[in-house]
Structure 1
């Protein structure tokens, strides 16, 4: 049963890491669910309540980081709330219209459109779009780092 539990956990981990790049997958949640499935199948022999609470807090940190990194990027490059709202709308529309490529182009176009609708100059709007991309990429790297730490903690807890 432990082998099956580990295989299932690893499948969830791989899907979760993919979710760091593909926002249609809830990456950190999938990683946490993989740990929960492992715990259930092994009758929680090696992973306790403190571990799961700590991992749940890490999941919250991932989502907080994602939001704050995007907002930081927009603000750092002189963008306004209109750019932030535009980038969120652009992300959703980009994913719907362009699929995975929409995660790259959608936030940028949305931030630029938000700033232009807010009567900003094209130069300012493009700078906000670039800030959105910088924030998105930094957030993705931070999310990935946190998720890798979550997985390392899991293996340490199971095998230590």
Structure 2
């Protein structure tokens, strides 16, 4: 029988998938909230501890990727921590004003400009900007896959097992 707790949990898990692709929506935290709501709402009995732990681990991993994926990519491309922090702020501001394209352009442009000022290297600045932009896109793709996996695992555990 599907009850209100199950419907709300599934809505939060679906929100996690949408949030993975939509900027400023915490996909991992929405998935975590859906899992916690369901587990609490069913008296901690419907999902086994192992299933719950695995799904929660995926939700935490999703949140970590969401929060740190772009920074890790920027660092892998050689950008400084300061450049990464400034680019994140500029990207968020531009995203609010112009949408997802503003985020990508803001990140790329900021990383490129600050790294060029810092090092004076066209090739290194371009590499850092490309790594950052690709890292953000890859982070989004991984978040969509993880949140979809969480929903799939939840549905299997609740309705098929």
Normalising by the smaller structure, the TM-score range is 0.7 to 0.9
TM-score scaled by length of structure 2: 0.79
Consecutive unaligned residues of structure 1, counting only runs of 5 or more, are: none
Distance in 2 between residues matched to 1:8 and 1:68, nearest whole Å? 28
User: Relative contact order: is structure 1 or structure 2 higher (C-alpha 8 Å, sep ≥ 6)?
Assistant: 2
TM-score scaled by length of structure 1: 0.79
Q: Evaluate the alpha carbon distance shift between residue 32 and residue 20 of structure 1 in structure 2; reply closer, same or farther with a 3 A threshold.
A: same
RMSD: 2.6
Distance in 1 between residues matched to 2:16 and 2:142, nearest whole Å? 14
Instruction: Please give the secondary structure, in 1, of the residue aligned with 2:3.
Output: helix
Instruction: Please give the secondary structure, in 2, of the residue aligned with 1:25.
Output: coil
1:39 aligns with 2:39: yes
Distance in 1 between residues matched to 2:32 and 2:72, nearest whole Å? 27
Distance in 2 between residues matched to 1:152 and 1:82, nearest whole Å? 39
Consecutive unaligned residues of structure 2, counting only runs of 5 or more, are: none
Distance in 2 between residues matched to 1:120 and 1:74, nearest whole Å? 17
Q: Evaluate the alpha carbon distance shift between residue 75 and residue 37 of structure 1 in structure 2; reply closer, same or farther with a 3 A threshold.
A: closer
- Identify the residue that residue 91 of structure 1 maps to in structure 2: 91
- Identify the residue that residue 129 of structure 1 maps to in structure 2: 129
Distance in 2 between residues matched to 1:79 and 1:128, nearest whole Å? 6
Shift of 1:46: 1.1
Distance in 2 between residues matched to 1:34 and 1:69, nearest whole Å? 23
- Identify the residue that residue 154 of structure 1 maps to in structure 2: 154
- Identify the residue that residue 28 of structure 2 maps to in structure 1: 28
